[in-house]
Structure 1
Amino acid sequence: MPRVSEDVIKQAAAVDIVGFCEANGYELVKKSDRWYQGADHDSLMIDRKKNSFQWFSQGKNGNSIDFVRTFYGKSFREAVSMLTEKDYKPTVIKEQPQKEFVYDIVHDNSTEQVERYLTEERGIDKGIVNALIAKGLLRQDKRKNCVFV
């Protein structure tokens, strides 16, 4: 049997896993523009940006070729053939511009209730709590919530 060429392997690996699943009736749940989850396997996550999958419960991961081998029980050669027999679209992700981070928590002038909560109710050492407050890493907001800055 002739060897599969590197170009054909690259073409198969570039096939969008989500597009492949849609074309072949493998049900996914869209979690965001980037992340998809298996409908039957909730520990299956597909990263559309990287065009890769991670099946956490089974410890398996990889590209589109690995996906077809894992979920369709195909050999390497069969998976490459299956991925290249149709004109599946390669992964194209439009990058959304990053929004500038806005820190909108209004701090209280006191940390009294946070100190009491962490030391008395949660049992955290008073020295640790005071050190975090002194370094500005622990604050209290206007609603008396604990804020780890």
Structure 2
Amino acid sequence: MALISKDKINEARSIDFKEFLEREEGFNFIKEGTNYYRCREHSSLILKYKNGILTYCWTSMLQKGDIIQYVKENITNNNFRRAVEYLLNGYFKEANSTEYKPKIIKGEKSNIEICYACNMKRAYAYLCKTRGINPSIVNELIRKKLISQDNRNNLIFKYLDEKGTVVGAELVGTNTFRRFKSVEKNSDENYGFSLNNGDRIEKLIVFEASIDLLSFLQINYESIQESLLLGLGGAEKIKKIDTYIKQYKDIREIIICTDNDSAGDKAFHKIKMIYSNNYNIVDGRSSLKTTNTKDFNELLLQKAILA
């Protein structure tokens, strides 16, 4: 394997470190002196100029160095070559050269503004490598334009209304070192991320998170029929169920696949109390309970380890 040239290393090192962290990691900085900045989100992370190059010192993480060292430790699993290649060829450089595309979606129910990235590298890698989702499932979601990546590298799960209009979105951070979940501003709270599997929908399968939905789909791919899978975006957001049972008149059964914890139990009992008079309510968490796993993504990853 050829060595990385000094010119390429210097080119990677010359990328604006502060701008990289602001765009790539979503960090914000406060100027505290003539030549250094402190991170708002992580107070022990400081950027400081040294010999004309911006370097970092992250006390709580026992890290320090330049931009290459940061990427090496936090993004490329301590691989120096990959860190340099990531900076030169990865998302950040592409975003600077081709720009991301702001897209404003206006509809009757909402006004959603999403700044899309020019590619889905980080979102794709996060789903397939970190979360264990089969690439064929991810490719299908991309083809159907149900998921995207924004300019801060967040994975976007789109909420669509009956007409197929984007009326909201669930955001999931792709940085495995910094957990992030949110909902796009102005999202219609009556909708969630949903996948239709069948011509006549008779079952509604409910999840707290969209990634659990995809994990369940992968585990049960061959057996899911005539079902709508719905990600609520939180255990407490059960009012979204109303939207879909009104839309799909043939639904007779609601399968509840919330997390195997106290919040999931609470959601299960609340859904059962509200809907049991008109629908057959099923606790779909038996596989979580028998394996003592918290959610379906944890179960999927456990199955991958045991395979």
Structure 1 residue ranges, 4+ long, deviating more than 3 angstroms after superposition:
none
2:23 aligned with 1:19, yes or no?
A: no
Distance 2:57 2:88 in 1: 22
CA distance in 2, matches of 1:58, 1:25: 16
Matched, 1:39 2:40: yes
Residue 54 of structure 1: aligned partner: 57
Distance verdict in 2 for CA 1:38–1:63, change over 3 Å: same
1:70 is the counterpart of 2:73 = yes
Q: 2:55–2:66: 8 Å Cα contact kept in structure 1?
A: yes
Offset at 1:58? Answer: 3.0
Alpha-carbon shift at residue 3 of structure 1 (Å): 1.5
Please say if residues 68 and 84 of structure 2, whose CA atoms lie closer than 8 Å, have aligned partners that are also in contact.
yes
Residue pair 2:4, 2:81 contacting (<8 A) in 1 also: yes
Instruction: Output aligned runs, 1:89-100, within 5 Å.
Output: none
**Kept after mapping to 2: 8 A contact 1:28/1:36:** no
Describe the shift of the 1:24–1:68 C-alpha distance in structure 2 as closer, same or farther (beyond 3 A).
same
Q: Which has the higher strand share?
A: 2
In structure 2, what is the Cα distance between the partners aligned to 1:66 and 1:3?
17
RMSD between aligned residues:
2.5
Distance 2:73 2:26 in 1: 13
Matched residue type, 1:6 = K
Partner of 2:301: none
Question: Is the CA contact (8 Å cut-off) linking 2:27 and 2:40 kept in structure 1?
Answer: yes
Q: Deviations over 1:91-117 (max 9, x none)?
A: xxxxxxxxxxxxxxxxxxxxxxxxxxx
Q: What secondary structure, in the 3-state scheme, does the structure 2 residue paired with 1:57 have?
A: helix
Structure-2 change in CA distance of 1:72 and 1:39 (3 Å): farther
Greater RCO (Cα-Cα under 8 Å, separation 6 or more): 1
Q: Which residue of 2 aligns with 1:95?
A: none
Q: Equivalents in 1 of 2:37, 2:84: separation in Å?
A: 22
The count of corresponding residues between Structure 1 and Structure 2 is 89
My pick for the range that moved more, 70-79 or 33-42, is 33-42
**Which structure has the larger Rg?**
1
User: What is the identity percentage for the equivalent residue pairs of Structure 1 and Structure 2?
Assistant: 27
Query: For the structure 1 residues 73 and 40, does the alpha-carbon distance in structure 2 shift closer, same or farther, using more than 3 Å as the test?
Result: farther
